[in-house]
Structure 1
């Protein structure tokens, strides 16, 4: 069961429409009586994909937020941010794309760094 405090416009949800269709989509709008208008991206009735359906708040659940982390996914989203001229999103995605590379470079640098003790040669007395 969902509550209005947990689902907002733009959230991704799954549920059942008033016509008993199982769907996944994002919330386009909400009304005060607990009705949602959801843009369908997946549905058991293929004709509903790409349309909006009505659903009761009690018949939907919010899907977990997805955070892309694979470089290919981030690069695709960076392209989308450029196409939409969203500088803030571009900066965020670019930083996330660069973070693993910077961490790997730092690890590589630590691996080859010598401490003073490693660089000394000791002669063992016979």
Structure 2
């Protein structure tokens, strides 16, 4: 089963797939080795709760890149800020904080 559909994965991409133990996993790519076809995924959620928060090795063919989300409101951005903080992704946190501040400024300028 090739879930990846030959898409090119990058570090930081959000992915879902089936772990080597058969569990459904959602997380983000920490690193990968193209020649080994192994992807290191930081697990955010999984059928197997013991893997949540850990980095696991997955086969490239069992991983599919998730589509980029379209954030449309402040609550979604706040949730993603929490995810960025929990994953230690400072660049993403800064980007999301900037988006939230832009929304606040837009609302304040309309008042």
Structure 2, unaligned runs of 5 or more:
none
- C-alpha change, 1:39 and 1:86, in structure 2 (3 Å) is closer
Structure having greater relative contact order (Cα 8 Å, sep ≥ 6): 2
How large is the Cα RMSD of the aligned pairs?
3.3
1:42 lines up with 2:49 in the alignment: no
What is the CA distance between 1:4 and its match in structure 2? Answer: 5.3
Match status 1:57 vs 2:56: no
- Select the structure of larger CA radius of gyration: 1
Aligned length: 100
TM-score by length of 2: 0.68
Show structure 1 runs of 5+ residues with no match: 106-126
| CA distance 1:87–1:29, shift in 2 (3 Å) | closer
SS at match of 1:15: strand
TM-score between both structures, scaled by the size of structure 1: 0.61
Distance 1:87 1:15 in 2: 25
Greater per-residue strand proportion: 2
Does the C-alpha gap of structure 1 residues 68 and 43 become closer, same or farther in structure 2, counting only changes over 3 Å? Answer: same
Would you identify which runs of 4 or more consecutive aligned residues in structure 1 move more than 2 Å?
A: 71-77, 84-99
Q: In the aligned structure 2, how far is the partner of 1:12 from the partner of 1:23?
A: 11
